[in-house]
Structure 1
């Protein structure tokens, strides 16, 4: 009988130990994510703003997780080539993809890019490049009000460059007209690499660009106003449109998405990692020095953020006569 009791006691101890070990291993597995490198697909060519911000994120991702963030490029169709196959990727958290607004809202509104906006599972929106109205350093325009007055005196006589049509720049121009009554003639270019020379070379009077353009051009350009709630730290002397009584806030927004098959806990874990990177003072400093503006929209708030942007972009697209 004593031997049987000892055997039962030993079995119980082993059972408890095994259960504890299994719980420990399970906890360890959860805490270990990610336990291998994560592929970060940029849906544009190398060298653009999506690439620049991803490169800035890389070392902080490594510091937080101990794993590499491997940047890959899948350019084509203004990002649609990559977004249309996002959900074909394995949803294990080891493939993430950059997303851009207004791209992923306007593209499905205006055409059939192979995906719908709701197909994209964003887990964090982490920054934006604020719209900015720029002129050459030697321009006669020193304030936004001077531009408004000149445009109202001769509607359409002032030309303003921007990247393509149905883009953040095009939207900014329409919003500016809606809010001020100033009509500028919008001239679309193929990209920021073409718009800046157009401004500096005198092809256009003004430019709808971003704070990043001003950061890159230095004293060659003058930024008249920026579409932020508060002044950009890199440009403390440049007013916001809101300060001038023009309710404009926006630009090109960037975030990170995962395949729709990615489990909820992995989505939240990735969102938390990006949030921690975004909160790092050194990372914030580097981003702002490059002209970016910080944005913090985690996974549980992305849905509401996207709905608000959808309404704005759809209204503007209707004004531009672009809805399909």
Structure 2
């Protein structure tokens, strides 16, 4: 009896629903159909492939620097793994702060990505109000690291770090060094080395490594705080005096480490990609996975290493822990160097 009732009830329900829809007011039927269509589109959208069009890739510095070189090397691999191109643009200013302060006003759809740098995004807000806090930057991936390198023109009278330090002690403040922006890894290296060596030199910030290199080759400065990548670019036009690594870089084995010379200096710059914070989580995840695929491609790794880069892989999952560690480390260094003037939001 109960089974028969359930069977009749089950057979009646579909007919009732169908009758109700047919006999309902046209407006109500339209609303129901529209809602069903929207739900279907929403479900399809959740599984839409990303990216489906060209991505705008904004570099916070001028052309010619490591951020630009990295993006150019990544460019063909976006095509390989996403079947889409990237349009690389440059928005230099204030050591990257001009772009990073505008990041969260950019379209948050995954089609605007911005190159981001450490220690810049920690050090800049520590010193002053630059229009953003470290916590405002939604990093989705850190993909390489470049060790600091101290360089001079090939015909410089400084043949070694020892020569440079000796002259700097005779002429406090007169020896000048170019670097890629204020409160960048280059600036931090110069500050730390001056303290370790007991000297006073003058740091001249430029809008990116490209401009810093031009100043070095044009002998507008005594030397440059750049990276191992810069030495690879400049070749015999510049002389590498030392690199801030635990061991010598395999691409420039003739350049000693600062540690070998008695200075406990190891450091450099991390580079990655960020998006506006309002970017949907699923898009952030897909973008992070895409950069991860590119970063693990053997051909891409080879090209990066040949240009002096050191690979790292920090995706969304590892990001909170990594950023907490970086914020703590750079805040301590900034405090020791007298750079820290504020207590910004780091995470």
Q: Same fold (TM over 0.5)?
A: yes
The answer to whether the 8 Å contact 1:170/1:186 transfers is no
Larger radius of gyration: 2
Partner of 2:191: 174
Q: Tell me the equivalent position of 2:332.
A: 315
| Aligned-pair CA distance for 1:275 | 1.4
Equivalent-residue separation in structure 2 for 1:279 and 1:244 (angstroms): 35
In structure 2, relative to structure 1, the CA distance for the partners of 1:81 and 1:269 (3 Å cut) is: same
Do 1:56 and 1:283's aligned partners in 2 also have CA atoms closer than 8 Å?
A: yes
Matched, 1:94 2:119: no
Partner Cα distance (2:225, 2:145) in 1? 15
2: CA distance, partners of 1:220 / 1:208: 15
Give the counterpart of 2:78 among 44, 61, 64. 61
CA contact (8 A) 2:169 2:200 kept: no
Aligned to 1:305: 322
Residue in 1 that maps onto 2:144:
127
Per-residue deviation, 1:231: 3.3
Deviates more, 1:191-200 or 1:51-60: 191-200
Alpha-carbon displacement from aligned partner over 1:285-323 (angstroms, at most 9, x marks no partner): 222333333222222222233233323333343344343
Q: CA deviation at 1:85?
A: 2.7
Deviation at residue 169 of structure 1 after TM alignment: 1.9
The 5 Å alignment of 1:216-231 reads 216-231=233-248
Alignment-derived partner of residue 172 in structure 2: 156
* Shift in CA distance, 200/81, structure 1 to aligned 2, threshold 3 Å: closer
8 Å contact 2:94–2:182 — kept in the other structure?
no
Query: Per the alignment, do residues 134 and 152 of structure 1 end up closer, same or farther by CA in structure 2, a change over 3 Å counting?
Result: closer
Is 1:211 matched up with 2:228? yes
Shift of 1:245: 5.0
CA RMSD, 1 decimal: 3.4
Q: Which runs of 4+ in 1 moved over 6 A?
A: none
- SS of 1:169 mapped into structure 2: helix
- Contact 1:214–1:221 (CA under 8 A) maintained in structure 2: yes
TM-score in terms of structure 2 length: 0.74
Alignment of 1:1-324 (within 5 A): 30=47, 32-145=49-162, 147-148=164-165, 150=166, 154=170, 156=172, 159-163=175-179, 164-178=181-195, 180-191=196-207, 192-193=209-210, 195-196=212-213, 198-200=215-217, 204-244=221-261, 246-324=263-341
| CA deviation after TM superposition for structure 1 residue 35, in Å | 2.8
Give CA deviations for 1:95-154 in whole Å, capped at 9, x if unaligned: 221112222222222222221110101011112332101123344544435545x26964
Q: Report how many aligned residue pairs link the two structures.
A: 306
Query: How many Å apart are 1:223 and its aligned residue?
Result: 0.8
* Runs of 5+ consecutive residues of structure 1 not aligned to the other structure: 12-21
Superimposed CA distance per residue, residues 243-289 of structure 1 (whole angstroms, 9 cap, x where no aligned partner): 54543332232110112122333322211211111111221222233
After superposition, what is the alpha-carbon deviation per residue over 1:180-229, rounded to whole angstroms, capped at 9, x for unaligned? 33314123143445544554565654432222321222112211221234
1:37 to 1:102, Cα distance in 2 relative to 1, 3 A: same
Distance 1:199 1:85, change over 3 A: closer
SS of residue paired to 1:300: coil
* Deviation of 1:82 (Å): 2.5
